[in-house]
Chain A
Amino acid sequence: MRGRFSPLIRADAVEKFTTLTASACPLRLANVDTDQILPARYLKVKRAAGFGQYLFHDIRRDTQGALRHDFPLNQPRWRDAKILVAGHNFGGGSSREAAVYALCDAGIRCVIAPSFGDIFSQNATKNGLLTAVVSDDAAAEIATAVDAAPDLPLAVDLENRQIRRGTKSWEFAIEPARRERLLNGWDDIATTQSFKSQIAAFRSRDKDAHQWKYPPLG
C-alpha cells in the first residue's frame, strides 16, 4: 500500500504503533474534557515549541501553581508512564488538537478508556496516539491492577487489539481504519494525493449539477 506514496510526502508520516510495553498511570476521572487536558490559554503556542509542560495544567497544580501530590502523573512511580487509564468520555469537548499534542509531547502514546470524544480520537490517530476502548469493568480492573503494582508494565498490542499484564489480558476496540493508520503510520494527506483525479472529476461534476453550492461572490 505504501509504495504509491511519493517519498517526499512520506517524510511526514506519523510514528508507527505496533506493541507498546510501558508503565501505565491510572486516572480515575470521567469526562476529562480537552479544556482539562490543555487549558485554552495555551492554544497560542506553536507546534514546534512543544505542549508537554501544559498537559493537565490546571488539574495537576494547586491554585498557587505547585504540583499536587494527589494527581497520579505527578507521582514518581508514574513519571515514565506512556499509557493512561481513564474514565468514560475522555477528550470530550473542544476540537483542539493541541490536547493530543500535549499528551504526545509528555510521552503518552496510548489512552485506555471506556469512551472518547469523537474529535479527540480522530485527532489522536493523526498523531500516532492510540485511543483503546475497553468496557467500564475492564477500565476499572486495569486501573486497579496498575495502581497496586506500578512497576509491572502493561503491554498494548494493536495488531491483536489486546492489553496484557502478567497473566491477565483484556480485549480493546478501535475503528479498523484507525488501527490500519496507526499500524502503518500512514499520513492522510499523502493517501489523498493518490485520489487527485477522482477529486477533480467529482468537483467538476458537482459544480455542473449543483451550481447553487458554489458561492456567487466567491
Chain B
Amino acid sequence: MSDPQTLFDKVWSAHEIASQGGESLLWVDRHFVHEGSFQGFDQVKARGGKVAEPSLTFGVADHYVPTRNRPAIASPDIARMVEQLTENTRANDVTLFGLNDPRQGIVHVVGPEQGLTLPGLLIVCGDSHTSTHGALGALAFGIGASEVAHVLMTQTLWQKKPKRMRITIDGRPSEGIGAKDIALTLIAKIGANGAQGHAIEFSGAAIRTLSIEARLTLCNMSIEAGARCAMIAPDDKTIAYIKDRPYTPQGETWTQALDEWSTLKSDDGAKFDREVTFDASQMAPVVTWGTSPEHALPIDAQLPDPASENDETRRKAIADALDYMGLKPGQKLTDVKVDRIFIGSCTNARIEDLRAAAAVLRGRKSKVPGLIAPGSSMVKRQAEHEGLDRIFLDAGLEWADSGCSMCVAINGDLVPPGERCASSTNRNFRGRQGPGARTHIMSPAMVAAAAVHGYLADARPLLPSYKS
C-alpha cells in the first residue's frame, strides 16, 4: 500500500515529466491564451519558435473586447490588441473563440462551458483567475508572460510543488448566502496572502451543497487569498455538468475518463500542511469596504476605526483605504451610497449569477445606472431565452455583450474617478475599475440590492422567498 495521497498530489504526479533542483517539469493539458498573451507570443517569435501543441492551446478574446456596438472597436489601440490575438492564433493554427464567435466569452467561463476544463487536467493561462477551473477537479493556475512563452514552445512548465492546505467548510449556508459570501468571509479571516504558497482543496458538507457554478466562483476567488490554486474533488454534480459539452470526451473515451475521475479525491489519512475549518451556516452576506479583498465585512457591520488598531502598518492600511474609498471610521455599511453597479467578470457572470440578480431586480427599478456583461455569449443567449435581459432593462440597467469589461477596465468600460461601484467582480484594488474608481465587491444578488436601494444593502429581504 502506498501512502495516502491528496487530490492535488495525485494530479501533480500524473503530470511530472522530470525533476531537477527541487522543481518539477510538468506537462500542460490545456493552455488558454487571450489578448494579453501577446507578450508571450512575442517572446516565442523573438526566439524563432512556434507553438508546440496547437491542439492543446485555445485562444479566447475577452480582456479588451467591446461590450457594446460589436464588432466595431472605437479605439485603434484596443482594436490592435484583439487583432494581435487573431494573428498570433492564426499563425500558429490555434483555435480561437474570437470576437464574433458565438462561443466567445471570458476565458474562465468558456473553458468549463465548452468542456475544455475537465477533472484531472493541468490547465494554465496567463491570468491569475485560472484558479477557477479547479472547481471541476483540475489543477489550474495563472502564469506570467515568460511562462506563457515556455508553455507555447514546450507544452511544459517548471514549478515548485506548493504546500497543501485543506479548507473544510461545514454547515449549510442559509438562504441568500452564496459562494461569494463564503469566499469573502474566508479571505477576511485568513488574509489576502493567507494561502500564499499553498494549493487549496475545498471540502466539507457546504461544498457538496454548492452548484458547479458556485464552486467555480469559490475557486476563482482563491487567488484573492493568495493561493497558487484551488481544487474540489469531482462528484456526481461535476460529471453531470461536464457531460455532452462540445469538447467533452465521448463514447469509449468518456467511459475511460469516468473510470479515472473516480480516483480523483484525497485518500483517507492524506496529509495536508495546513487545515482550516469554517462553518457556513453562520455566514451573513459580505461586502468589501476597502482596497484589498481582505477588507470585507458582513453587511450589517460598521467600518473599522484605524485609531483602535495597535499595529502601525495595519493602522495606516485602514486609514489609507478609508481615505481612498471616501469613507469614515465607524460608518454603517448600509449608509454607504453607491453611484453605479456592475454585474460581470469570471467570478460572477454565469447564468446562475444572472438569475440571482434578476430575482432581486424583478419588477423593481435601479436607483443608479449600471452595466451587466454576461460571462459568455452563450450565457447571454441563455439569459435572453429566460427573459432575464428584460428584467435588467426594465430596471433601467444596460444589458451588454460578454467580456472582462468593467472588472479590469481596459476595454473602455470604466468607473469614472471618485465614483463608487457595487460590483460582482473579484478585486477592489485602487484604480482597478478605472483611475480613482471606488469598488465594493459582493455577490450578484447583493449588487442587485445595492441597485434597488442606491446604498449597500442586504439582498435577503428582497428575495421572493423572504419571510420576515
Partner-B contacts on A (CB < 8 A): 9, 12, 28-31, 33, 35-36, 39-41, 43-44, 46-47, 58-59, 63, 87-89, 92-98, 100, 115-119, 122-123, 126-127, 175-177, 180, 188-189, 191-193, 195, 198-199, 202-203, 206, 210-218
Contact = CB atoms under 8 A, between A and B. Distances in A.
6 contacts: A30-B313, A36-B431, A44-B80, A115-B196, A117-B193, A195-B17
7 A-B pairs closest in CB distance = A218-B55, A123-B144, A97-B144, A212-B257, A126-B146, A89-B193, A212-B249
Contacts of B250: 216
A192 B156 contact: yes
Contacts of B54: 218
Contact of A202 (B17, B20, B153, B427): B17
Contacts of B36: 43, 96
B429 A95 contact: no
A189 B150 contact: yes
B22 A176 contact: yes
Interface in B87-134: 95, 116, 118, 120-121, 126-128
B452 interface: no
B429 A33 contact: yes
Contact of A98 (B39, B46, B156): B39
A95 B126 contact: yes
Contacts of A217: 95, 246-247
B226 A118 contact: yes
A63 B247 CA distance: 48
A31 B317 contact: yes
A189 B317 contact: no
Contacts of A98: 39, 145
A100 to B, nearest CB: 7
Contacts of B257: 212
A87 B313 contact: yes
B435 to A, nearest CB: 6
B153 A189 contact: yes
Contacts of A40: 408-410, 432
B407 to A, nearest CB: 10
B208 to A, nearest CB: 25
B158 interface: yes
Contacts of A216: 247, 249-250, 253
A206 B116 CA distance: 17
A119 B256 contact: no
Interface of B: 17-18, 20-23, 25, 27, 29, 36, 39, 42, 46-47, 54-56, 77-78, 80-81, 95, 116, 118, 120-121, 126-128, 141-147, 149-150, 153-156, 158, 160, 162, 191-193, 196-197, 223, 226, 228, 246-247, 249-250, 253-254, 256-257, 260, 291-292, 294, 313-314, 316-317, 320, 408-410, 417, 427, 429-432, 435-436
A11 B436 CA distance: 42
The interface centre, meaning the residue of B143, B144, B226 with most chain A CB atoms within 10 A of its CB, is B144
A188 B410 CA distance: 31
B246 to A, nearest CB: 7
A97 B36 CA distance: 10
A139 B436 CA distance: 29
A212 B22 CA distance: 30
B189 to A, nearest CB: 15
Nearest to A211: B253
B47 A39 contact: no
Given A40-B410, A176-B21, A213-B118, 11 more contacts: A12-B47, A30-B313, A35-B430, A44-B81, A115-B196, A118-B228, A119-B128, A123-B147, A176-B22, A202-B17, A206-B27
Contact of B436 (A43, A63, A94): A63
Nearest to B16: A202
A11 to B, nearest CB: 9
A203 B55 CA distance: 13
Contact of A198 (B18, B118, B256): B18
B18 A63 contact: no
Contacts of B429: 33, 35-36, 93
B128 A59 contact: no
